[in-house]
Chain A
Amino acid sequence: MRTIKALAAVAAMIFMAACSNNEQAAVPASTTVTPGSVADFKQNIGDRVFFDTDMSTVRSDGRGTLDKQATWLKQYTNYQITIEGHCDERGTREYNFALGERRANSVKQYLVAQGIPAARIQTISYGKERPIVPGSDEAAWAQNRVAITALQ
């Protein structure tokens, strides 16, 4: 059974790679992670979605990620989820707590709409207190305007 699933996954990846020549080749590490593990979620699904400056609406690129997250989470129901909202440093501390909360909540709403029970999902905002990457340039800020789906 597991073999079939793995085969199907590989086939799916080949199919995706063939369809979108713009996409990079599938992550080679995927063959070494256990399906259903935290590593599997991070590497093969993607644990984070990014936001535009001062915005908390999920972008279209983020929707793809969240759709995959929802599918995966429905398959592996043993995980509780905490969504961490973050902001870049280009805002004020207090406001950013609220903005991070709003971002985390947008992701929660999206996942709930996709059928994940709200009771499985917690949210927490880190405002601009815990940047994912250091640095004071647009590249760093773009990485830090993020909501990360953490599994427990």
Chain B
Amino acid sequence: MMMRFDMMHLRRHLRTMLCAAALAALAMPAHAQLTIDMTKPSFEPVPIAIVDFSGEAVGAQIAEVIRNDLQNCGLFRSISPSSFIERNVNANAAPRFPDWRSIGAQGLVVGQMSRIGGNIKVDFRLWDVVVGQQATGLSFTSQPNNWRRLGHIIADAIYKRVTGEEGYFDTRIAYVAETGPVTTRVKRIAIMDQDGANNRYITDGRTLAVTPRFSPTLQEIVYMAYSEGNSPPKVYLQNVDSGRRELLGNFPGMSFAPRFSPDGTKVAMSLSRDGNTDLYEMDLRGQTLRRLTNTPGIDTSPSYSPDGTQIVFNSDRGGTQQLYVMGANGGGERRISFGDGRYATPVWSPRGDFIAFTKIMGGTFGIGVMRPDGSGERLLTSGFLVEGPTWAPNGRVLAYFQQQRGGSVNLQQIDITGRFQRQIPTPTDASDPAWSPLIPQ
């Protein structure tokens, strides 16, 4: 029904390129200067120079993808290529470090591209300009039309080398694309690359579709959609490549708030019946349904712990919306939020160390994090209406959406310290982001 993704055959060669004899002397230093400790209370973004890759026309565009990724994450400052002194850098030899030091660069990225059969290959190096040594060097191969992914994968490698954290650039974001007046707004599911490229629509907009969530392999998404007529909205599972979609279970009432288990074999969701809403788990293999909660009140927004043993969810069983954690089989429910205000949309970090949430305090909304036992609550941002955090796969960056007075909505990104916030560009108004895991290679 919709577009196909070219699930690329990207082969990653995790071999360093210390092949040339000249480079043998440049062994990895024990304590390179080029590092960022993200836990420090403050630091300056690392100035980094990324030279257009040589050997293929697309090399300049790949370098631009890398510049954008690194600049947008807040930890790097991409030095404008117009200020570069050394031109025509040889990607296979050491650069003239004084030239790069004099423009303030601490890191330098160079790349050499070549063709292997029908594929393109990149050999790239990250130089630690301060100590004058190679920090990392890797080579990657891909189909020519997937050159953007090459850029993201290299940006991830640089991010990892410098911060010690996994990168998150080779990922996608599913979201709700919104158009038209507030009262008759068209809402459809869209998927784009993390940097806004390759935007495409997954539903056609004839009926409202919201709350998209990725499967761990990115092959499928679950979301809630209305049907034409008056029947209640339901949860659907859709194959992203083929566009084929199926109704997840056929229940009399409304089903919503779906979320995949970390192993992708189950989907937890809310079912409403006679005004009461409980959590259920659907086993995708057997299509069997299991009840997880049974309380008067609304239980919704389930999210699994990364090991799949627990579920955090939202419930108003105590009079106001609060966060609760229970075993993944149901039972052992305990409340973890006790601050002032209401708490909603909990999402467990892929690392397991935090739970992000929406907090409603009087007339203000906030996005915050707390530890899974409820301690260490911290607000990252607040505003008239901010909602629905989702974790980047490294568990250090979040996306959420922000609504202005009057109804216009957009996507935002913030790191876990709350220091770096930026709008994620989308072609239309956008809400309800869902950040994918790293794209399988």
In the complex, which of the residues B185, B211, B300 contacts A98, with contact meaning CB atoms closer than 8 Å? Answer: B300
A106 partner residues in chain B, CB cutoff 8 A: 275
CA distance A102 to B299 in the complex (A): 12
Q: Which residue of B lies closest to A101 (CB)?
A: B272
**Total number of A-B contacts with CB less than 8 angstroms?**
109
Report the minimum CB–CB distance from B214 to chain A (whole Å). Answer: 17
Give the contacts of A66-99 with B (CB-CB under 8 A).
82, 89-95, 97-99
Q: Are A125 and B183 in contact (CB under 8 A)?
A: no
- A95-B232 in contact (CB<8A): no
A97-B257, A98-B277, A99-B298 in contact; A92/B403 too (CB < 8 A)? no
Contact residues in A for B182 (Cβ distance below 8 Å): 131, 134
B312: shortest Cβ distance to chain A, in Å? 13
Which residue on chain B has the smallest CB distance to residue A129?
B208
Verify B183–A133 contact, CB threshold 8 A: yes
A131 to B272, CA, bound (A): 21
CB of A59 within 8 Å of the partner chain: no
| Residues of chain A contacted by B298 (CB below 8 angstroms) | 95, 98-99, 102
Q: Considering the complex, which residues of chain A in the window 95-134 have a beta carbon less than 8 Å from any beta carbon of chain B?
A: 95, 97-99, 101-102, 104-106, 109, 122-125, 129-134
Residue in contact with B254 in the complex, picked from A97, A109, A130, CB distance below 8 Å: A97
Instruction: Provide the B268-307 mask, 1 if CB < 8 A to any CB of A, else 0.
Output: 0010101111000000000000000000001011000000
Q: Are A98 and B187 in contact (CB under 8 A)?
A: no
Give Cα distance in the complex from A94 to B211, angstroms: 8
Given A92-B358, A98-B300, A105-B274; A130-B256 close (CB under 8 Å): no
Indicate the size class of the contact surface on chain B. Answer: 35 or more
A95 touches B314 (CB 8 A): yes
- Please determine whether A94 and B345 come into contact, CB atoms closer than 8 angstroms: yes
Cβ of A64 within 8 Å of any chain B Cβ, yes or no, is: no
Interface size on A, residues (CB 8 A): 33
Question: Closest CB-CB distance, B270 to chain A, in whole Å?
Answer: 7
Residue pair A134, B230 in contact (C-beta under 8 Å)? no
A99–B298 alpha-carbon span in the complex (Å): 8
CA distance A136 to B385 in the complex (A): 10
Residue of A nearest to B257 (CB): A94
Q: How far is the CA of A135 from the CA of B183 in the complex (A)?
A: 10
Say yes or no for A149: interface residue by CB 8 A criterion.
no
Closest to B432 in A: A93
The answer to whether the Cβ of B181 comes within 8 Å of any Cβ in the partner chain is yes
A94, B302: Cα distance in complex, Å: 10
Q: Which residues of A contact B314 (CB under 8 A)?
A: 92, 94-95
Contacts of B383 in A (CB 8 A): none
- B405 on the A face (CB < 8 A): yes
Q: Which single member of B272, B321, B344, B405 contacts A136 (CB below 8 Å)?
A: B405
CB neighbours of B363 from chain A (8 A): 90
Within 8 Å of chain A (Cβ to Cβ): is B406?
yes
Question: In the complex the two chains form, is B183's CB within 8 Å of A94's CB?
Answer: no
For the complex, what is the distance from the CA of A97 to the CA of B277, rounded to whole Å? 10
Closest residue on chain A to residue B258 by CB atoms: A94
Q: What's the nearest-Cβ distance from chain B to residue A4, in Å?
A: 36
* Contact A136 B406, CB 8 Å, known A93-B432, A94-B300, A131-B182: yes
Report the bound CA distance from A99 to B301 in whole Å. 13
Name the contact of B230 in the complex, choosing from A56, A82, A93 (C-beta under 8 A).
A82
Instruction: Let me know if A94 and B360 touch, CB within 8 A.
Output: no
Q: How far is the CB of B240 from chain A (nearest CB, A)?
A: 22
| A85: nearest chain-B partner, CB-CB | B275
Q: Is B425 an interface residue (CB 8 A)?
A: no
CA distance A96 to B220 in the complex (A): 25
Interface string of B358-370 (1 = CB under 8 A from A): 1010010000000
CB–CB A95/B321 < 8 A: yes
Residues of B within 8 A of A152 (CB): 230
Distance from B223 Cβ to chain A, minimum over Cβ atoms (Å):
12
Interface residues of B (CB under 8 A from A): 181-185, 187, 208, 210-211, 224, 230-233, 253-254, 256-257, 270, 272, 274-277, 298, 300-301, 314, 316, 320-321, 344-345, 358, 360, 363, 384-385, 387-388, 403-407, 431-432
Q: List chain A positions with a Cβ less than 8 A from chain B.
A: 54, 56, 82, 89-95, 97-99, 101-102, 104-106, 109, 122-125, 129-136, 150, 152
Q: List 18 A-B contacts (CB under 8 A).
A: A93-B432, A94-B256, A94-B314, A94-B344, A94-B345, A95-B301, A97-B233, A101-B277, A102-B276, A102-B298, A104-B275, A124-B233, A124-B254, A125-B232, A125-B254, A130-B184, A133-B183, A135-B406
